[in-house]
Amino acid sequence: MNDNFPKALAVILHHEGGWADHPKDPGGATMKGVTLATYSKFLGRDATKEELRNISDAELQQIYRDLYWNRAACDRLPSGLDLAVFDMAVNAGPGRAAKILQTVLGVTADGAIGPKTLAMVEGRPTTDLIREFSGAREEFYKGLPIYATFGKGWLRRVDEVESEALKLVGDKS
């Protein structure tokens, strides 16, 4: 549909910030939202934390587009919903983002956004889907064992992303 990738990436990077290596974060060392494991996979070899700290903007954009935006079929989603799904893909994986969307739509949650999921998306108002998807994200986070540590930040992020996503609905620029 729309290619909101540049706009969506700006929102993601606002939330992902810079360097993090929280001992309770299962993702481990992270730079601008990219984990050491993801960066290593991207490079095809084990990366060091120092290399991750120095990830280039070009690498960052390619990782986000290839591993999250494209895998979650965000380019095939309506404007606004693409951002919400992309953000969840970054935060919990493209498969989890797809399953949450599919659950909201009432289709089989197989973790891959295909023709059936897309057909159901077309039949629903985008603003409603964004709000329902955000609510389902919140419920997902509340069920995680590390919610006490990260929950407040996750819920703030969901609210802020929902607000930005709703602004994109119908945006053709």
* Helix axes 94-105 and 126-142, enclosed angle (nearest 10): 120
The reply to whether 17 falls in a domain is yes
Where is average pLDDT lowest: 21-30, 70-79, 138-147, 158-167?
21-30
Pairing of strands 34-35, 19-20: unpaired
Per-residue pLDDT, 173: 44
Per-residue pLDDT, 22: 80
The reply to whether 145 falls in a domain is yes
Q: Looking at residue 52, which CATH number applies to its domain?
A: 1.20.141.10
pLDDT tens digits, 20-50: 888 777 778 889 989 999 999 999 999 999 9
Residue 101 belongs to domain spanning: 5-168
The reply to whether 60 falls in a domain is yes
The reply to whether 27 falls in a domain is yes
The reply to whether 37 falls in a domain is yes
Per-residue pLDDT, 23: 78
Is 172 a residue whose pLDDT tops 60? Answer: no
Q: In what order do the strands lie in the sheet with 30-31?
A: 19-20, 30-31, 34-35
- How many domains does the chain contain in total? 1
**Residue 139 token pair:** 């419920």
Q: How confident is the model at residue 2 (pLDDT cuts 50, 70, 90)?
A: low
Nearest C-alpha neighbor of 128 from the set 155, 159, 109, 105: 105
The reply to whether 173 falls in a domain is no
Q: Please say whether the beta carbons of 87 and 80 come within 8 A.
A: no
The reply to whether 139 falls in a domain is yes
Q: How confident is the model at residue 171 (pLDDT cuts 50, 70, 90)?
A: low
The reply to whether 41 falls in a domain is yes
